[in-house]
A and B are shown apart, each in its own frame.
Chain A
Amino acid sequence: MCKQCELKPVIILSNSKKGLCRSCFFRYFERKFNKTISQFKLIEPDEKIGVAVSGGKDSLSLLYLLNKIREKRRFRIEALLIDEGIKGYRDKTIMDAKRFCRELGTKLTIVSYKGEFGYTLDQMLKKLKIKPCSICGVFRRYLLNKYSRKLKFDKLATGHNLDDEVQTILMNQFRSNQEISARLGPITGIKDSEKFVRRIKPFYLITEKETTTYAYLKNFNIPFCECPNNTQAYRIEVRNFINNFEQRYPGTKHSIINSFLEILPSLKEKYRNYEEIKYCRKCKEPSSKEICQTCELRNKIR
């Protein structure tokens, strides 16, 4: 029974084993979301927050909640969607995103690979012998930053949840990528950079089971839709490993996040100098090399 009101629970929280009924779960979820924003100072009054939406349950739940609190916290929101051009997948999720934004009255900007680079991802994959996720990782990040700046967003909110972050932390550990871990956390990017829009993750402390439960109970009607190009074999293996571990030792994911948050300031301090932004010689966008990965990839596609 729900610990608070003795009704039938809709979820058992994995870290505390506490069962919550529908209305207590909504209260728990929204409180956690609000607390994350306050605790990590993710949003300041009068800011314009871009919301990166894919049309999936996490990003649309995020849009719904940011829209719900924007008046009280005095900020504005707009949605941004990157259309890679993946037939049978993105075209479907775009419909859900459009419907959702229409219902909320939120402005949605759609930027496509085709319009920006001349080809859809499907077309690029026919030209290049390269893993699709490597293309998307580079192009999507590039477009999100470029258009966040064009649309004058102060920050860009993404639907990354606790599970996403735990997977990335462990993947970086297993591959000894501490420098990349230093760039993680609930708020990322460099302060006061003209060219780089900071990213925020208001679902940082919320599990994907919780976001799915929330979207289901709110009747968002977002069907499960998997990218046909999902080649992130390593991430999937790490995810299975963590989920098996969590099933046997509940609370593992929360422990990983909590210990990571403790060492994150030290990591950021250690790699502070690496964070200095350089700019691509060709496109003038932020880059770690002289020519950015986006320009390198574009060259190969031509």
Chain B
Amino acid sequence: MVKVFVEKENKRINLRAKDIDEIMKKLNINKEEVIIVKNNELTPRNERLKNSDELKFLSVISGG
């Protein structure tokens, strides 16, 4: 399971997926609206995932 954190919704979930794109599709995240941090490293391209990976979707949208 991949540990996922979605900043905008302050949501933490565990998901099974083969790559980042699959998770974004599952969570309906637009890549224009986030920067992606995989195991504490910025990851701008789709990458394969393995169990125990940690993925953060940080919001790029300003809060108002």
Contact = CB atoms under 8 A, between A and B. Distances in A.
B32 A247 contact: yes
B13 to A, nearest CB: 17
Contacts of A159: 62
A208 B42 contact: no
Contact of B31 (A19, A224, A225, A247): A247
A54 B29 CA distance: 26
Contacts of B58: 212, 216, 224
Interface string A139-167: 00000000000000000000101001000
A239 B42 CA distance: 24
B60 to A, nearest CB: 4
Interface string B13-28: 0000000000000000
Given A212-B35, A224-B58, A11 B30 contact: no
A19 B35 CA distance: 14
Interface in A1-59: 8-12, 14, 19, 56-58
Interface string B45-64: 10000000000001111111
A56 B33 contact: no
A213 B59 CA distance: 10
B7 A224 contact: yes
B45 A12 contact: yes
A247 B64 contact: no
Interface of B: 7-8, 30-33, 35, 37, 41-42, 44-45, 58-64
14 contacts: A9-B44, A9-B45, A10-B42, A12-B45, A19-B44, A19-B45, A93-B63, A208-B62, A209-B32, A212-B58, A224-B7, A226-B64, A229-B64, A243-B32
Listed from nearest, the 9 A-B pairs whose CB atoms lie closest are A227-B64, A243-B32, A212-B60, A10-B42, A226-B63, A12-B44, A224-B59, A230-B64, A208-B60
